[in-house]
Chain A
Amino acid sequence: MGRARRMRRAALNLAALGVLAVSVFPVYWMVITAFKPTVDILTETPRFWPARPILDHFAAAVRAAGFWTFWRNSLAVTLGAVLLALVVALPAAFAVARLRWRGRRGFILMVFVAQTAPWSALLVPVYIIARDANMLDRLPTLTLVYFVTTLPFTIVTLRGFIAAVPPELEEAALMDGCGRAEAFRRVVLPLLAPGLMSTSLFGFITAWNEFAFANALMIKDQGDRTLPIWLSGFSNVFGTDWGATMAAATLFMLPVLLVFLVLQRRVSSGMIAGAVKG
C-alpha cells in the first residue's frame, strides 16, 4: 500500500514537472537567449545557463530604427482605446445594471454577439471602409477598432461590478439631496475602482497584443506601426540576430507580464467574459 502510494506520488510529480517544463521553457529560452553573448547563441550545442549574461542584445533592440516610435504608437493606441472603452462602457453598464427600459435584453444580446464576433472575418470590409474614409495608415483608426473589440467585455464586467453595489447606497445619497449623476459619482464610482482597474488592464492586454488589424490597416507608412507588427518582421530588422530578436520579444512581453501580476486571481473570470485572446 505504502509503496504503491509512493510510486503514484512520484509519477504525479514527474508529470507535474513535465507540464511545468513545457509551459515555462519557451519563455525561459527567450529570456536566456536575450542575455547570452552571441558566441553562445551560435554554438551547435545550446547552453541552457547564461554563464556570462550581457545586455548588448537589449541595447541593439532599443537602438533598432523606430523602436521608440513603435513603442509610443503601441502605448498611445492602447491607452486611447482603453480610456474610450471605459468612458463609453460605464454609462451603458449602468443603464443595463440599474435601469429598466424597453430594448434592454436586445442590447445585452448585442453585447454578447459583439463579444464573440469573429473579428478576423471582418479584416477585408474594415480595410475597405478605412480606405474609403481616408483612414488607412492612421493610428486613430486602430484606436477605434481596439475600442470596439474591448467594449463588449468592458460593459459586461462593469455591469457585474455596478450590480454588486447595493442600490440603497445610491438612494441614501439621493435623499441627502444629491442629483443622480452626483450620487453616482460620489457613491458608486469610488466602489467601482477595482472593477475599472481590472477591466482596463484586460483591455490593455487585448489592444497591446493585437496583430491582425494592425497588419491589415497600417501598410504604407512605417512610422505608424505598432510593436506586434514590428516584431512580426523581425528578420527584416535584425536578420539572423536571434539575441536582439529575443530581447525585443522580451521587452514587448514585459508590460503584459506586469499587468498579469497585478491581476493575478481575477484573470480566469475575466477570460470567461471573453476578455483576452489573440
Chain B
Amino acid sequence: MARTLARTARRTLVIQPRMRRTGVLWPYLLVAPALAGFVCLLVYPLARSVVISFQHFRLGELIRGGADFAGFANYAEALGGPEFWAVVRRTLLWTAVNVVLIMVIATAVALMLPHLGRRMRLAVMSGMVLTWATPVLAATTIFQWLFQSRLGVVNWLLVRLGFDSFRGYTWFADGGATFAILVALVVWQSVPFAALTLYAGLTTIPGELYEAARIDGASAWQVFGQVTFPILRPLFGLITSLEIIWVFTCFAQIWAISKGGPGGATATLPVYAFQIAQSLHRYDLGSAVSTLTVLMLLTVLVIHLRRMFREEGGA
C-alpha cells in the first residue's frame, strides 16, 4: 500500500513533468508517418477513383492529362447496360456459393477435429496449414495442372470412376467448368483459416457444458444448435464477414486462371472493373464500377468494422 502510494507520488512528480515537457504534439508526430501512408495510398486513390468516375477519362486523358466533368454519365452507362447487372448477379452467386461452402465445410472440419485421435488430429491440422501456406499463385498454377485436359490427374480419375465423357475434357474452355474450378480453388484455400479458427474457438468451450447437455438427453444437432453455436456466434460472425469481404473482392485467383473468361463467365465486379479499364481504356467506366463495388460491400464492411471497433477499439 505504502509502496503503491509512493510510486503514484513519484509518478506524478517525475513522469508528469516529463510528459508535459514533451508536449501534446508527441502522439501526433508518432502517428504522422502512418497517417501519411494511409492518406497517400488509400484515401487519395479512393477519392481519385470517385473523381474519375465522374469524368470523361479515357486513353486520351490518360496521356494528355486533364479530364472533363461528365456528371453521372459513367454511372448511367454502367447501370443502364445489361452487362453490369449480369456481372453483379455473377458476383453475388460467386460470393454466396464460396462463402456457404467455406463455412459449412470449415464448421464440419472444426467439429470433427476434437473427436479424432491425437495423431490423426495433428495430421489433419498439419495438412490444413500446408494448404494455407500455399501461395495464391502457386495454387492457381497447381490447379491448372490438376485440371489439364490430356494429362491432368482429375480427368484421369473421373474416367477411372466411369465418367468417360471427361476423357481429354478441356475444363478451361467452358465458362461453367472454369467457374467451378475457381470455386474449388478458393474454397480449398479458405477452409483452413476458417476451420482452424473455429476449432480454436471450440477448445475454449468448457467440457461441462457438453456434459450437461448430454445428461439432458440432447442430440448432437441440439448440442450444436444450443451450446456450440450460441457461444461461438461472435466468431462465426467475424469469420463470415471476413470471408464475404475476401471472396467478393477476390482478384488474383480469377485473373491468373481465366482473366474473367472464357466469354466473361468468371468476370466478377473487381475483375470486370479492371478489364474495362485495362483493355478498353475506359478508366472512367472502370472507376464507376469500382466505386459501385465498394458501395455494395459497404454494409458488410460497416458491420465488420463495428464489430472490430467494439472489441478492440475501445481499449
Contact = CB atoms under 8 A, between A and B. Distances in A.
Q: Do A and B bind each other?
A: yes
Interface of A: 12-13, 15-16, 19-20, 22-24, 26-27, 29-30, 33, 41-42, 44-46, 87-89, 91-92, 94-96, 99, 101, 103-105, 107-129, 131-132, 144-145, 147-148, 151, 155-156, 163, 168, 171, 174-175, 180, 208-212, 215-216, 227-228, 231-232, 234, 242, 245-246, 248-250, 252-253, 256-257, 259-260, 264, 267-268, 271-272, 274, 277-278
Interface in B38-60: 38, 40-42, 44-46, 48-49, 52
Nearest to A12: B115
A116 B294 contact: no
Contacts of A12: 112, 115-116
Most chain B CB within a 10 A radius of its CB, from A125, A148, A151, A155: A125
Nearest to B121: A16
Contacts of B291: 121
A26 B278 CA distance: 32
A234 B287 CA distance: 30
A171 B15 contact: yes
Contact of B45 (A107, A126, A174, A268): A126
A37 B47 CA distance: 54
Given A26-B142, A129-B48, A278-B250, A124 B137 contact: no
Given A23-B127, A23-B128, A24-B131, A127 B112 contact: no
Contact of B137 (A89, A96, A110, A209): A209
B79 interface: no
B64 to A, nearest CB: 11
A248 B253 CA distance: 18
A256 B135 contact: yes
Contacts of B40: 148
A124 B49 contact: yes
Q: Lowest 10 CB-CB distances: which A-B pairs, in order? A: A278-B136, A101-B27, A120-B251, A91-B30, A95-B30, A211-B252, A92-B34, A125-B49, A148-B41, A120-B270
B133 A256 contact: yes
Interface in B257-287: 270, 273-274, 277-278, 283, 286-287
A128 B47 CA distance: 13
A8 to B, nearest CB: 9
B137 A228 contact: yes
B218 interface: no
A88 B33 contact: yes
B81 interface: no
B171 interface: no
Given A121-B294, A211-B136, A45 B238 contact: no
Contacts of A180: 18, 22
A214 to B, nearest CB: 10
Interface in B1-42: 7, 10-11, 14-15, 18, 22, 24, 26-31, 33-35, 37-38, 40-42
